[in-house]
Homo-oligomer: A and B are copies of this chain.
């Protein structure tokens, strides 16, 4: 099909090996021949066949980013950053959608893709420590988000407990005394949902407020619809909450909608706060107060750690990084003071 090394070699009157050396500088080439080869390359419009290169090198130049839902703007924004970072390092990022499915996560960890991918960035949802430890694939793995700990892999996440503290402290500061949480899950001791509930509980206690399990709404997933339904249920309680802390912005947006349909005012009747700082929250009515993780940092760091491992930094010990976050005050908890 296309132009290959041999064509260039013939055109320039040199050997295959010399052309290869010109292309990727593995060994030095004399100035005159290099120029001749370069000219042939330009004239014929050669670009290396990556498949063949990777067969020979044993690497494909592909890394995968596996996330539970592409539809979630948080992950879409993260993916956009990661794709750019990977491209800058000479890698192509392919997105894998696990759809929060256990089988899909397991298949990625150790599946048939292993030959096609040099490394994997995974945001685990349904698998835990054991599954990660049981993995036999030898390609580097970087974990993002919470859920799996104490495994020999790099791990990047925000401090969920601290983030929840910040959210609750803010609600307490604006005078709320009955704050609900939407987005708890059953089981999963170390899942991020669990950690966020823990932070919620600890912060309430620290503020001298009671923890009421009725105000903790469980959901199957973390989408807008889940938030809306849960909020509706909370409003049906005898004594509904005066504030809601959503597992993420999507859930919080759903809560906003349920409140609007119920004819309640935000933040006067119920204040709402989420986590993720998705763009949608900057344009909703009311705009959404949120805990903003440093998506840029997470995306770039994950890719860079992975590439470092792929390119041979096996020696370094697995790194666990907690990226910073900040509170962004918007209308859903009252007009910012500052």
A residues at B contact (CB < 8 Å): 1-2, 45, 47-52, 54-55, 58, 60-62, 69-71, 73, 76-77, 79-80, 83-84, 92-97, 112-116, 136, 138, 223-224, 228, 253-254, 256-257, 260, 279-280, 282-285
Contact = CB atoms under 8 A, between A and B. Distances in A.
Contacts of A282: 224
B92 A93 contact: no
Copies in the complex: 2
Contacts of A69: 80
10 nearest A-B pairs in the assembled complex, by CB-CB distance: A260-B285, A94-B94, A257-B283, A51-B55, A50-B116, A70-B80, A224-B283, A47-B112, A49-B115, A76-B76
Contact of A51 (B48, B60, B280): B60
A95 B83 contact: yes
26 contacts: A1-B58, A1-B138, A2-B115, A48-B115, A49-B55, A50-B115, A51-B51, A51-B60, A51-B115, A55-B55, A61-B116, A70-B79, A71-B76, A71-B80, A73-B73, A76-B76, A79-B95, A83-B97, A93-B94, A228-B283, A253-B283, A254-B283, A256-B283, A257-B284, A280-B280, A285-B285
Nearest to A257: B283
A100 to B, nearest CB: 13
A116 B62 CA distance: 10
Nearest to A55: B51
Contacts of A284: 257, 284-285
Nearest to A282: B224
Best-surrounded residue of A77, A79, A228 (most CB of chain B within 10 A): A79
Given A76-B76, A253-B280, 7 more contacts: A1-B58, A47-B114, A49-B55, A70-B76, A83-B97, A224-B279, A284-B284
A47 B113 CA distance: 9
Best-surrounded residue of A71, A96, A228, A254 (most CB of chain B within 10 A): A71
A97 B54 CA distance: 23
A73 B48 CA distance: 35
A97 B62 CA distance: 16
Contacts of A49: 55, 115
Nearest to A65: B95
